[in-house]
Amino acid sequence: MKITGVDCTVLVVPDCNSDACDSSQDTVVVEIRSDEGITGIGEVDTNPWVVKTLVESPGSHIMSLGLKQLLLDQDPTQPQAIWDRLYTLSAMTGRRGAGICAIGAIDMAIWDLYGKATGKPVWRLLGGVPQPHVTPYASLLPTGTTLAEYRESLLAKATWAREFGFSAAKLEICIKGPYTHNRLQEGDDAIVQLVAECRQEMGPEMRIMVDVAYCWSDWKEALRVLRRLEQYDIFFVETPLPSDDLEGYRRLANATDIRIAAGEWLQTRYEFLDLMDRGQVDVVQPDVGRVGGFTEALRVVQLAQDRGKIVVPHCWKTGIGAAATAHLAAVSPNCRFIEFLPAAVAESRLRRELVSDELQIVKGRLQLPRHPGLGVSLNPEAFSRFAAAAERLYSPRPLPQEA
Ligand SMILES: [Mg+2]
């Protein structure tokens, strides 16, 4: 079998809000076709136009070839060999950042194609020890442009998660720091108050995670708040500090009893080695697409296991990424939870509508996918609609005052 075609499509929701702390409003879908008429799909959570350009651009020399150019005629039943080929021969341009994100979407699509060609779900092909089930936590991002609206929305989603039967939920509290939701700008007291109210609402049994979206600029400021949060039995606090402040992460992780989680933005095992060995975080959060696909995510899971670290993969995308995350977790013994954006409480129509086969959650657990490949298929009508919305957004238009 040979790869004969690679297509890259940018999709955006029609009501895209660039003030929202919400990357599920867009995606880039990579479709890889074979000479046997089989197509694999993958996506990645980063700027979709940049990935499309990286995939489609040609290259003129052996240190920086184009990804599509490198894929044609390759055997999709050899994903690791293809990964090494892409990484090595695009390295001058692509060995970190968006270059690895593009390789990640491609790798996801190749494993999907490989699974469909052999009639097996991806997790059966990944090797490792199959887990009996996968436990999702509900990732809850409130809406609202005032603190009162944000609080009301968060509490309503927390109630929904408890009543639905999730055993764990993460509170997205993006109200302070550089990545606030709808430009809210609140203080530490509001963060503690929201956590306290959610704990009361969710009861003592549910696991609670808290994502503060890089809100503190130094570790001692973070530590003061984490000490106030310890009484609410928090499973982990995610990304309290800027992504590159590894010394701050090390000091914070060693000073608090709450687990520190990070890694959602990182590429390759090399960045995770730094995060684990220098940053000493307790929980690593590779995103299957962004870390470089299944091939690289498996390496991160193994390195984390060697160090006694917990893996809780990041996923904030469509049903494609949600399925990929479940397949990874299915063969990762140190994966305690996966992040799961429930379609029922997601604002993003891409999350709700792009794929037609939603993973089933029974009593708070995901059953292992049984269909070949990723086990999800694109909804063609939704795909066309979101592609048209992306075209409209991308077309240069004069600003009103210039018209
Ligand atoms: Mg996060």
What CATH number is attached to the domain comprising 113? Answer: 3.30.390.10
Q: 213 CA distance to ligand 1 centroid (A)?
A: 6
Q: What are the structure tokens assigned to 257, written together?
A: 């009893």
Question: Burial, 93: exposed, middle or buried (Cβ in 10 Å; 0-12, 13-18, 19+)?
Answer: middle
Task: Identify the three-state secondary structure at position 139.
Answer: strand
Residue 98 sits in the same domain as residue 153: no
Closest residue by Cα to residue 341 from 169, 189, 220: 169
Q: Is residue 326 assigned to a domain?
A: yes
Q: 263 CA distance to ligand 1 centroid (A)?
A: 9
Give the pLDDT score at 128.
Answer: 78
Q: 171 CA distance to ligand 1 centroid (A)?
A: 10
Q: 107 CA distance to ligand 1 centroid (A)?
A: 23
Residue 207 sits in the same domain as residue 81: no
Query: Which amino acid is located at 220 in the chain?
Result: K
Q: Is residue 321 assigned to a domain?
A: yes
Residue 299 sits in the same domain as residue 339: yes
Q: 30 CA distance to ligand 1 centroid (A)?
A: 24
Number of H helices and E strands in the chain, helices first, is 16, 13
Q: Is residue 61 assigned to a domain?
A: yes
Residue 112 sits in the same domain as residue 30: yes
Q: 70 CA distance to ligand 1 centroid (A)?
A: 33
The CATH number given to whatever domain includes residue 359 is 3.20.20.120
Give the pLDDT score at 403.
Answer: 47
Q: Are 334 and 356 in contact (CB under 8 A)?
A: no
pLDDT tens for the chain, residues 1 to 403: 999 999 999 999 999 998 888 999 999 999 999 999 999 999 999 999 999 999 999 999 999 999 999 999 999 999 999 999 999 999 999 999 999 999 999 999 999 999 999 999 999 999 978 898 999 999 999 999 999 999 999 999 999 999 999 999 999 999 999 999 888 999 999 999 999 999 999 999 999 999 999 999 999 999 999 999 999 999 999 999 999 999 999 999 999 999 999 999 999 999 999 999 999 999 999 999 999 999 999 999 999 999 999 999 999 999 999 999 999 999 999 999 999 999 999 999 999 999 988 888 999 999 888 999 999 999 999 999 999 999 998 776 666 665 4
Q: Is residue 127 assigned to a domain?
A: no
Residue 25 sits in the same domain as residue 68: yes
Residue 90 sits in the same domain as residue 155: no
Q: 36 CA distance to ligand 1 centroid (A)?
A: 39
In terms of residue numbers, what domain contains 92?
A: 3-121+379-394
CB atoms within 10 A of CB 374: 31
**DSSP per-residue letters across 220-285:** HHHHHHHHHHGGG-EEEEE--S-TT-HHHHHHHHHH-SSEEEE-TT--HHHHHHHHHHTS--SEE-
Q: Work out how many domains the chain is built from and give that number.
A: 2
Sequence-ordered list of residues with C-beta below 8 angstroms from that of 82, at least 6 positions apart, any chain:
71, 74, 75, 76, 106, 107, 110
Residue 107 sits in the same domain as residue 181: no
What is the pTM (predicted TM-score) of this model? 0.96
Q: Is residue 131 assigned to a domain?
A: no
Sequence-ordered list of residues with C-beta below 8 angstroms from that of 268, at least 6 positions apart, any chain:
95, 96, 100, 291, 292, 296
Q: 238 CA distance to ligand 1 centroid (A)?
A: 6
Q: Are 109 and 42 in contact (CB under 8 A)?
A: yes
d(CA 325, CA 104): 13
Q: Is residue 403 assigned to a domain?
A: no
**Cα angle value 299/139/24 (rounded, 5°):** 80
Residue 334 sits in the same domain as residue 217: yes
Residue 177 sits in the same domain as residue 76: no
Residue 148 sits in the same domain as residue 104: no
d(CA 168, CA 337): 8
Q: 369 CA distance to ligand 1 centroid (A)?
A: 25
Q: 285 CA distance to ligand 1 centroid (A)?
A: 9
Q: Is residue 371 assigned to a domain?
A: no
Give the pLDDT score at 13.
Answer: 96
Q: Are 144 and 153 in contact (CB under 8 A)?
A: yes
Q: 240 CA distance to ligand 1 centroid (A)?
A: 10
C-alpha distance across the termini of the chain, in Å: 53
Q: 82 CA distance to ligand 1 centroid (A)?
A: 30
**Cα angle value 60/61/67 (rounded, 5°):** 75
Torsion over CA: 30, 115, 95, 315 (sign)? positive
Q: 181 CA distance to ligand 1 centroid (A)?
A: 12
Residue 233 sits in the same domain as residue 355: yes
Residue 112 sits in the same domain as residue 232: no
CB atoms within 10 A of CB 402: 6
Q: 262 CA distance to ligand 1 centroid (A)?
A: 8
Q: Is residue 53 assigned to a domain?
A: yes
